[in-house]
Structure 1
Amino acid sequence: MFLAFQQHNPKAHTGLEINLHFSTSALDNGLALTPTMGWLHWERFMCNIDCDECIRSSCIEIFSSCLFMEMADVMVKVGWKDAGCEFVCIDDCWPSHKRDTQGRLQTDPKRFPSGIKKLADYVHAKGLKLGIYADIGTSTCAGYPGSLGYYDIDAKTFADWGVDLLKFYRRFMPDWHQLGEGRSICKSQQYTDRF
């Protein structure tokens, strides 16, 4: 980052013009050209893990595919999409606690009975994009499966589902030297052309 101060009016002693110049590097693939703007469920809904204790009639109405479909509808209806908000993002607590027999992440069957692909199709039909949370370590913040050791298969799974954005945490990484594993995630994602 380069920071330059310049007097706005040389005859006045007040008012400075600040020019900020940032140096960045990124893949030249046309992705992430602007800041990510959209809606993320975490601040309001978090996990709401105990579906039997929900105030509403079912967990489906609390934190589920229905919530994200409803939010996509609202984003279009009230003008968020027209204002540049394009992402509907799922945070932690969406997966099952176990991977399938091929090692792929699975959705929680109560929260996402039709899977992420159907949700992504719905969000895309609204002209929006779907984002999802994962962790580069052994588990997510809430204890669901992390991507450590599964970067290639997880990148392919997310791409197959139609996910457009990945929000990765580094919570449960066994050693700091393994932070370089993040590069493996990027390499795994490069072949997908999705995120």
Structure 2
Amino acid sequence: MSKTTMKILLYIFLWLLPSCLSLDNGLALTPPMGWLTWERFRCITDCKKYPQECISEALIKRTTDIMVKEGYLAAGYNYIAIDDCWLEKQRDANNRMVADRHRFPSGMKALADYVSI
């Protein structure tokens, strides 16, 4: 087979490839879109020094409200994730991780309920 024939076959294959790999089922029409604490705030946990930037219940609620108010939800953003730096340094009596009681005074369940409304 000549090099020209091989190139033509390769181009045809590459042209057909996208239609072969996608399903027309309505799923993933946009990429997963959300907000992650780590993207902007890394592991800022000192709420006395950085009250507006520390990973806390207030930050997550404020971000949730902004996402709804400014149209991010309508644009397809559908999750908020607290990547890291949300927990106490010590586990509870059952050896489970627990949210920092000072930065998340209502607990994670209440915060998740707030975000999902």
TM-score higher than 0.5 here?
yes
Q: Of residues 81, 84, 92 in structure 1, which corresponds to 2:76?
A: 84
* Residue identity opposite 1:71 in structure 2: T
> Percent identity at matched positions?
45
- How much has 1:22 moved relative to structure 2? 4.7
Q: Distance in 1 between matches of 2:113 and 2:12?
A: 50
Q: Where in structure 1 are there 5+ consecutive unaligned residues?
A: 8-15, 24-32, 126-195
Under a length normalisation based on structure 2, what TM-score does the superposition of the two structures give? 0.71
* Residue identity opposite 1:75 in structure 2: M
* Residue identity opposite 1:19 in structure 2: L
Local SS of the residue matching 1:70: helix
Number of aligned residue pairs: give it.
101
- Residue 64 (structure 2) aligns with: 72
- How much has 1:99 moved relative to structure 2? 1.2
* Residue identity opposite 2:74 in structure 1: D
Cα RMSD, aligned residues only: 2.6
- How much has 1:62 moved relative to structure 2? 2.8
- Residue 139 (structure 1) aligns with: none
The structure with more strand, counted as a fraction of residues? 1
Under a length normalisation based on structure 1, what TM-score does the superposition of the two structures give? 0.45
Q: Please show how residues 18-167 of structure 1 align to structure 2 within 5 Å.
A: 19-20=17-18, 21-22=20-21, 34=28, 35-54=31-50, 58=51, 62-125=54-117
- How much has 1:18 moved relative to structure 2? 5.7
- Residue 13 (structure 1) aligns with: none
CA contact (8 A) 2:55 2:85 kept: no
Local SS of the residue matching 2:80: strand
Q: Where in structure 2 are there 5+ consecutive unaligned residues?
A: 1-9
The structure with more helix, counted as a fraction of residues? 2
Which one has more relative contact order, counting CA pairs under 8 Å at least 6 apart? 2
